């Protein structure tokens, strides 16, 4: 059964590799190191044994949270792991006092949009040409 753990500085290489594989605008290892060291942020890794299945990050400042990138390894997709990661990030944000949560998603990423809207996120605005491959939808959820 997969379990969550909080990422540490020692996970920066793993996370940077996954970013490069799955995220259109990947974070560098240095940015990841800064994020795992930031008390207002958390990156959760979902793993089975020693194998990372996926990860996601969130930053909470006062009553607002922003969900960072979420990624799931190809061979583990369509098994509910992305939803589990999203739910963990929402839970974390709420536990830190968030009243609203924001995230950005490429308008062409239909599976992610379906997931986010199924969890109560709504389109707040559009950022034109945010990604190389399209606009970003800024989604918001009140909690």
Whether 101 contacts 143, CB under 8 Å: yes
Q: Could you say which of 75, 104, 107, 131 is catalytic?
A: 104
- Does 17 qualify as catalytic in the annotation? no
Selected catalytic residue, list 81, 116, 122, 130: 116
- The CB density around residue 38, as the number of other CB atoms within 10 Å, is 12
> How far apart are the C-alpha atoms of 118 and 43, rounded to whole Å?
22
- State the Cα–Cα distance between residues 137 and 104, nearest whole angstrom: 6
Active site residue 116: yes
| CA dihedral sign, ordered 26, 22, 68, 136 | positive
Q: Which alpha helices (H) appear in the chain, and where do they start and end?
A: 12-22, 29-37, 81-95, 110-118
Residues 6+ apart with CB under 8 A from 110: none
Closest by CA position to 87, among listed 105, 101, 107:
101
Catalytic site positions: 104, 116
């Amino acid at each position: 059964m997969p379990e969550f753990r909080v990422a540490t500085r020692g996970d920066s290489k793993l996370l940077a590799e996954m970013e490069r594989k799955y995220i259109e605008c990947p974070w560098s290892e240095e940015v990841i190191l800064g994020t795992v060291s930031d008390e207002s942020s958390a990156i959760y890794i979902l793993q089975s044994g020693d194998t990372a299945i996926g990860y996601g990050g969130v930053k909470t400042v006062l009553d607002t949270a922003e969900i960072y990138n979420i990624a799931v390894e190809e061979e583990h997709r369509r098994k509910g792991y992305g939803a589990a990661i999203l739910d963990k990030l929402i839970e974390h944000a709420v536990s830190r006092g968030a009243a609203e949560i924001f995230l950005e998603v490429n308008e062409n990423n239909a599976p992610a949009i379906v997931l986010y809207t199924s969890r109560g996120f709504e389109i707040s605005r559009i950022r034109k040409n945010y990604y190389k491959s399209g606009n970003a939808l800024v989604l918001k959820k009140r909690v």
